[in-house]
Amino acid sequence: MTQWAFTVDLERCVGCQSCVIACKVENGTPPGVHWMKVLEKEEGEFPYAKRTFTPVRCNHCDDPPCARACPTGAIRKRHDGVVIVDQDLCIGTMACMTACPYYVPYRWDGDGGYFGEQLTAYEQEKYARFNPGTAQKCHFCYHRLDEGRPPACVEACPADALNYGDRDDPESRINALLRQKKHFRPKEELGTRPSLFYLTGKGGGTISGGGSR
Amino acid sequence: MSAKGLSDMKFIMDFQAQRHWDWKVAVYLYGAGTSAGLIFLEVVLRNLEMIGATTALYGMWIGLGLALLSLAFLFDHLGPKARWRFLYVFRRPRTSWISRGAIIVTVLVLLRLVILLPSMPGFEGLPVGEGTALGGVLRATVLLFALAFMAYSGLVLSSWNSIAFWNTPMLPMLYVGYSFLAGMAALPIVGAIAGGSHEVGLVVPVVRTHLLALLLVNALGLLLYIWGMASGTLPCRESVRRLLRGEQRWNFWAGIVGVGLMLPLIAVGAALSEGSGWGSLPALILVGACLAIQIGSYLLRDAVLRVGVYGQPV
């Protein structure tokens, strides 16, 4: 059975935010809602200071804490591992936002677009997919996956830092990448088993998580 | 801002404070805990015949009103768009503490209503009053659910490991302690509302020694909680920094410690050493101290919510 997963090559990400924009364009998320983020961090001191970039999004965990916390059962995993929000069941308790250690979900309350109260035609069409007052988060572009296309962020990445594939297929691109490069999963110590792997360094094999918690 | 969550965060790898559960949730947690504490103590003290029937009845009504008021704040927090969909909240008690809490509070409110029915015109003959077998069973069940609800107000935060400052068994214990404290401190206020000098005169001698003990126990609990968190992981220590020296320092030192603990300690000490009749200065001061405890109790919930920070996502 297909189990979709992402890889993010931290050595390749240049922080161009293409994935952020591609996600916005594809899914038409409202102001203040970012399903995809590229976080910056300054490391070291002059003259050896540098900036690192870490793309962050829903990790589609195998044991998603957001789904456990949700009192209505609005968050569930599809058979292919994608974690989705059923907006008809969501009542906006924001339990998922509190429970997610990656602080991924948002709640959109449905007022206003990027250019004020009056929505553009594009916004009207895109926002019609979101129920106001419900949780919003990355859904792995499942509408594209179902058509055999890659997620918008993966397709837009100019540095080939983002990849996706079937974890259950030994020949898939991400399994090949996991064999080639050292990798870790974010905050693995919390037991969420994210379906996202950060790649860094040659040689394959896992790196134990270095998260602060 | 039309979105809740970390919608205004800069895209920087850093600790992020949760902002979506705001003062309305703090009011809910305070109201839930205090109403449960009040009803628990009211049932126990009435059973021991330490408080009068009038105070007990008013306590039950005020506790119910406080619970409903706090629920109103919670519904407001959900937003008007939730409408009747809030009924879905009962669907996942197996995994979700919010779902469990919804069930507990619903049962508790219904039990209170049944217990209060005989005090309403037309229902005087119902066999659920004090001294009846069914009334006894109902009150025992209320005690269980009140205790569960007090614990829930902390467990709903501590059950998730995303925010390290909340993810400790100390938090539910502290909230249970504070629920008892605020519930006990509500009794003189209820007495003053219920029957003025006579009822307060009956309640104050019962309450003041217990209040002193609860104040000391909760001060110790708060100290242990902060101390434990101060030696925890990086996000824990960041939360403690924000609470003691950061943006919540006034809330903590002036509100929670000063108004909520130190002033009442001094007032209860004065009430213990003086007379207790209504109109005497110590009794008035004690009622004032009880109001201060309510403020401190609310501020504790508010500050704990505000300083909850996520660890870095990677």
Structural fold of domain A4-202: Alpha-Beta Plaits (3.30.70)
* Residues from chain B contacting residue A37 (CB–CB below 8 Å): 11
Largest CA distance in chain B: 66
Which amino acid type is present at position B246? G
Nearest-CA distance B19 → chain A (Å):
9
Per CB-CB distance under 8 Å, the chain B contacts of A103 are: 5-6, 16, 18, 162, 310, 313
In this structure, the number of other CB atoms found within 10 A of the CB of residue B234 comes to 15
Count of domains for chain B: 1
B6·A103 Cβ contact <8 A: yes
pLDDT tens profile B21-47: 999 999 999 999 999 999 999 999 999
Q: Average pLDDT of A37-65? A: 94
pLDDT at B129: 80
State the number of CA atoms in the 13 A half-sphere of B26 facing the CB: 19
CA separation for the pair B4, A90 (Å, rounded): 15
DSSP A116: B
Contacts of B4 in chain A (CB under 8 A): 94, 97, 106-109
Test mutation, B16, B92, B95, B314, chain A, max A CBs within 10 A: B314
- Which amino acid would we find at residue A168? D
Residue B182 has pLDDT above 70, yes or no: yes
B18 and A97 within 8 Å at the Cβ level: the answer is: yes
Least confident range of A164-168, A189-193, B77-81, B215-219: B77-81
Of A91, A102, A211, the CB nearest to B86: A91
Top residue of A72, A127, A189 to mutate, by most chain B CBs within 10 Å, is: A72
* First-residue to last-residue Cα distance in chain B: 27
Interface touch A213/B235, C-beta < 8 Å: yes
Residue with tokens 């919930």: B301
pLDDT category at A212 given cuts 50, 70, 90 is very low
Domain assignment present for residue B3? The answer is: no
For the beta sheet containing B3-4, the strands, ordered from the edge strand earlier in sequence to the opposite edge, are A134-136, A106-108, B3-4
**Can you tell me the distance from the alpha carbon of A41 to that of A52, in angstroms, rounded to the nearest whole number?**
5
Task: Reduce the DSSP state of residue A36 to 3 states and report it.
Answer: strand
Burial label for A31, CB within 10 Å (0-12, 13-18, 19+), is middle
Over 90: is that where the pLDDT of B198 sits?
no
Mean pLDDT, chain A, as a whole number?
Answer: 92
> Average of pLDDT values for A16-28?
96
pLDDT band at A211 (very low <50, low <70, confident <90, very high): very low
- Two tokens, residue A122: 């594009």
How many Cβ atoms are within 10 Å of B72's Cβ, its own excluded?
Answer: 14
β-bridge pairing A196-202 and A4-9: parallel
Residue B8, in any domain of the structure: no
pLDDT of residue B50: 87
Q: What is the mean pLDDT of residues A115-136?
A: 91
Looking up tokens 């927090």, which residue turns up? B77
B51, B45 contact by CB (below 8 A): yes
Average pLDDT over residues A6-33: 95
Burial category of B238 from C-beta neighbours within 10 Å (exposed 0-12, middle 13-18, buried 19 and up): buried
Give domain status of residue B13, yes or no: no
Instruction: Supply the pLDDT for residue B8.
Output: 72
On the question of pLDDT at A13 being above 50, the answer is yes
Q: What is the per-residue pLDDT across A85-113, written as a single tens digit (0 to 9) for each?
A: 999 999 999 999 999 999 999 998 887 88
Locate all alpha helices (DSSP H) within B159-262, ordered by sequence. Answer: 170-195, 197-230, 234-244, 249-250
CA distance B233 to B178: 25
Amino acid at B68: L
Q: Could you give the percent of chain B with pLDDT greater than 90?
A: 65
Range(s) of the domain holding residue B48: 18-310
What is the CATH classification number for the domain harbouring B116? 1.20.1630.10
User: Chain centroid to CA B99: how far?
Assistant: 19
Report the chain B residue with the minimal C-alpha distance to residue A52: B13
Residue type (1 letter), A132? P
| B20–A98 C-beta distance less than 8 A | yes
Q: Is residue B216, in this structure, part of any structural domain at all?
A: yes
Nearest to B314 among A69, A111, A186 (CB): A186
Look at residue B10 and tell me if it is in a domain: no
Q: What is the pLDDT of residue B281?
A: 60
Beta carbons of A99 and B160 less than 8 Å apart: yes
ipTM: 0.89
Nearest to A190 by CA among B283, B311, B43: B311
Give the residue from chain B lying closest to A135, CA to CA. Answer: B4
The pLDDT > 70 percentage for chain B reads 96
Which among A107, A132, A213 is the nearest to B234, CB-wise? Answer: A213
